[in-house]
Amino acid sequence: MLVTTGLCAPAAFAEKYASIVIDADTHEVLHARNADDARYPASLTKVMTLYMLFDALEAGEVTLDERLMVSRFAASQAPSNLKLRPNSSITVSDAIGALVTKSANDVAVVVAERLGRTETRFAQLMTIKAQSLGLENTRFVNASGLPDSRQVSTARDLAILAEAMFDNHGESYHHFSRPRFSWAGKTYKNHNELLETVDGVDGIKTGYTRASGFNLMTSAERDGHRIIAIMLGGSTSKSRNAHVAALVEAAFHTYEIPDDPADPGRNIEMAFSAFGSAAPDPNAAAEPMINGQRLSVATAASAINFKTLPVPGPVPELAPEADEEEAEEILVADAGLTAEQEFEQGDATPTSFEGATVIIPPGRPAFSVSEYEARQSAQ
């Protein structure tokens, strides 16, 4: 069966904000805004990489103490990384810790090459697996979330992935609540600050690229209720964290407001309105940036013609409020563009990689940090 992967027009990325909150037990959508619009997942990609790794662990294909070899290509990945050296190794257990907390791109490739032989093939298998889970509008082309305009998802699809992770790999979900990870004499704090600041939050992953803005996939449980909240496109980690915290509080507040049989859903509307998560301008916290200015400001100042903006939209600069901890999350390499490709779906679950029939396209070009910055300036 042929799997088609052309999903959405590039123009769909002009506005980056999207969010969704669901009841993980009933699958009811409590809140959604732009939930089906194409967005860049950034490091939320690593949740899918970990899902595949947990599948392999469950199938006995790998063990937690197995040492994974580091290729020259894996070691060359841009920050965030562990600065792994070619021909060194890292255990599966440490790889999980590095992906969850440090969001290490070199480790993501190490895992991809162990499970899929090449990162490109592994990404194709990720896409097949994602579609089997119901992620209908998601396509992966790498294992890390490094920038690539072909790698897209939606807030709704990412919520489905978070649900699947909890439902299908509950025995491994605890890794996402890990507060810190130590490697080579350094200790890295989990980027998900909601773990320590919002009651009930026990996972799962943050992400950031200039094209995506600040993303967060989170899950929380209180009084027997579990909710999943996704926000994509924040302008800073602080505004993202505050917004998602409000979404989480609003979700749990819905259970405290009695249902009105005459007006179903009224309790949900009241709860989200009360916590300010239904602000008149929800995109304000995620407005694209041009040369350090918010798009609306730059547009008013120079009368930019939106039709002439480069696709997939303006590349936002790192918000000036970003602190050192945010900088650790930044992905600074440009994966470049390659031709569209198609691949055949065989028996391509993580427990039977050998059955997957795929066509491996040429490798994507690598750019140095300075080359990447130059490309961004040119746009």
Closest CA to 108 of 142, 139, 83, 158: 142
Q: Is residue 294 part of a domain?
A: yes
The CA-atom distances, in angstroms, between 288 and each of 13, 237, 283 are 10, 15, 9
Structure token pair of residue 256 = 């405290």
In this structure, are residues 210 and 185 in contact, taking their beta carbons and an 8 Å threshold? no
pTM of the model as a whole: 0.73
**Quick one: tokens of 73?**
């290509």
| Residue 124 placed within a domain | yes
> For residue 181, is it within any domain?
yes
Is residue 190 one of the residues assigned to a domain? Answer: yes
Q: Which of 251, 229, 253 is nearest to 240 (CA)?
A: 229
Look at residue 68 and give its three-state secondary structure: strand
In a domain, 1, yes or no: no
What is the DSSP code string of 253-297?
HTTTSPP-TTSTTHHHHHHHHHTTTT-S-GGGGG--EETTEEHHH
Residues 6+ apart with CB under 8 A from 170: none
Element (H, E) at 233: strand 225-234
| pLDDT by 10s per residue, the chain, length 379 | 333 333 433 333 337 899 999 999 999 999 999 999 999 999 999 999 999 999 999 999 999 999 999 999 999 999 999 999 999 999 999 999 999 999 999 999 999 999 999 999 999 999 999 999 999 999 999 999 999 989 999 999 999 999 999 999 999 999 999 999 999 999 999 999 999 999 999 999 999 998 899 999 999 999 999 999 999 998 888 889 999 999 999 999 888 877 767 766 777 776 776 655 444 344 444 444 333 444 445 444 443 332 232 333 333 333 333 343 444 444 433 333 232 222 222 222 233 333 333 332 333 333 333 443 444 344 3
Q: How far apart are CA 312 and CA 310, in angstroms?
A: 6
Number of domains comprising the chain: 1
User: How is residue 351 written in tokens?
Assistant: 């427990």
Q: What is the DSSP string of 205-221?
A: EEEEETTTEEEEEEEEE
Say if 298 falls within a structural domain.
yes
Q: Which domain holds residue 330?
A: 6-378
- Is 99 part of a structural domain of the chain? yes
Q: Where are the alpha helices (DSSP H) in the chain?
A: 45-59, 72-75, 92-97, 105-116, 119-133, 155-168, 194-197, 237-253, 266-274, 295-302, 324-327, 369-378
CATH number at residue 156: 3.40.710.10
